[in-house]
Structure formats: structure tokens, C-alpha cells
Amino acid sequence: MKRTQKRATAARPRAGKRDQNKEKTKQKILAAALRLFREKGLEATTTREICRKAGIAEGTLFNYFKTKEDLALFFFEKETDNLVEWFHSETRLQKAPLPEQLFAIINRQLEYIAPYEDFIGAIFFQSLKTHSKLSPLSLQSQELRLRYLKFISEVLAAAEERKEIPNVGDLGVYGVGLFYIGIVMHWLHDSSQGKQRTLALLDRSLKLGTQVLRKGGWDW
């Protein structure tokens, strides 16, 4: 009878053949999508093509991702998770002054997404749309699905706690988020060698930020 033991003591939520197949299908979709997105960009890749390459039927994709946008967003979120993990592993950075932290964070993001410029760029702007599922600026009203903002919130809260900056509330996150948008926009249009100009802008901007902080610009 080969131990039927009610399917692995209910430890993993993934055990039955059904869930196995489901997972496998999802991975096939993700693999195909990522490859095509990288090769041809987001807009130029059709859902039909993804399905063909994944070896599934037209409609199956939409059983897993509500829209093509959702599928693309998946990678975006994954990237953010990656960033958070990295920051938490950098113990030195944790104690550095806020501007340095922000520089490191943003810089790391730019480096990370460099190979997927077109792809990420498209997703990035998708995420800004008003009625899109995640909207960076709706900290309070929406459900804060953008993990990035949550992360920035933490970083700012830490700086607050060690008295580096006064209480900034949501406005701090708001500011950083907006700033990030600006940087990415600049980055996307930057054709200079190795995005030098964006890095320079990033540096200068954060220096300005420091000044504002030092001069008490926060208690407006």
C-alpha cells in the first residue's frame, strides 16, 4: 500500500499532482514570458507567443495572470523583493547616514535593471497609471501593494528612530517615491556612457537633499 499517509503530513501546501502541474505550468509561463520580454520588449511580445513558447493554450495564461500587465508586474515585484533582501544583508549600510543609504539603494536598482531597460521601463510606467493596481502615491487609500514603498518607509522610520531626521510622516515616503520616479525617468532617457549623467544627477540631488535636511527643510 505504499504509505498513503494522507499526503505528507500537510506540511507543504504543494503536494498533490494537481498542484504540481499547476506550479509547473506557472513556471513555464514565467520562463517563456521573461525570455520574450527580454528579447523583444513588453509591447512587442504577444500573449499568443508566450503561450506557444510555453506549450500551453491561449486561454491558460489568463488562468494564471489576469492580464498581460499582471504577468509583467510579477517580475517587477520580484525585483523589489530582491532589493529588500539585499539591503537587509548589508549590515554596514544599515548604519550609514540616510542620503548614503538612499544613494546605494537607488544605484543598486538602476544597475540591477540595466539589462532589461525597455522591459522594465514599460512596466514602470504601467505602474504609474491611475487605475493600475499599484499606484505609488496612494500610501493611505490603496492597499500598498508596492513593496518598494513599504521598504522605503522602513528605511525612513529607522533614520527617524536614530534621530537623524525629524518625523516626516507619509510625506517622506511620498518625496522619496517621487524622487525615484524622476531618477528612473531620467535614467531611461539617458544615453550617456554607462548612464553617467543619471548617476551624477543622483549624486547632486542627494546632496541637495542632505542640505535641505541639515537646514531644517523638513519642518515646513
Provide the binding-site residues for DNA, judged by CB under 7 A. 16-19, 21-22, 25, 45-48, 56-60, 62-64, 66-69
Q: Which is nearer to a second copy, 165 or 185 (CB)?
A: 185
Instruction: Work out which of 95, 128, 157, 194 binds a second copy, going by CB under 8 A.
Output: 128
Tell me if 211 contacts a second copy by CB under 8 A: yes
Is residue 212 near a second copy by the rule CB under 8 A?
yes
> Residue 173 corresponds to which cell in the numbers above?
515616503
Chain centroid, CA 26 distance in Å: 20
User: Rounded to the nearest whole angstrom, what is the least distance from the CB of residue 137 to a second copy in the complex?
Assistant: 5
Question: Pick from a second copy, DNA, none: which does 217 bind, CB < 5 to 8 A by kind?
Answer: a second copy
What's at 8, amino acid-wise? A
The interface region with a second copy, picked from 8-16, 89-97, 150-158, 184-192 by CB under 8 A, is 184-192
Q: Residue 181 touches which of DNA, a second copy, none (CB < 5 to 8 A by kind)? A: a second copy
Q: Give yes or no for residue 135 binding a second copy (CB under 8 A).
A: yes
Distance separating alpha carbons of residues 77 and 166, to the nearest angstrom: 30
Cβ proximity to a second copy: between 97 and 175 the closer is 175
Q: Which of 9, 52, 14 is nearest to 32 (CA)?
A: 52
Residue 188 contacts which entry, a second copy, DNA, none (Cβ below 5-8 A, type-dependent) = a second copy
Q: Does 220 bind a second copy (CB under 8 A)?
A: yes
Residue 196 interaction partner, one of DNA, a second copy, none, beta carbon < 5-8 Å per kind: none
Residue 96 CA to its chain's centroid (Å) = 23
CB of 54 to DNA, least distance (A): 9
* Contact of 46 with 72, CB cutoff 8 Å: no
Using the CB atoms, write b or e for 120-155: b if 16+ within 10 Å. Answer: bbbbbebbeeeeebbbbbebeeeebebbbbebbbeb
Region of residue 165 (left: phi > 0; alpha: psi -120 to 50; beta: else): beta
Please report whether residue 143 would count as binding a second copy according to CB under 8 A: no
How far apart CA 73 and CA 127 sit, in angstroms, is 8
Selection from 88, 50, 89 nearest residue 67 by Cα: 50
Q: Which residues bind a second copy (CB under 8 A)?
A: 118, 121-122, 125, 128-130, 135-138, 141, 174, 178, 181-182, 185-186, 188-189, 191, 204-205, 207-208, 211-212, 215, 217, 220
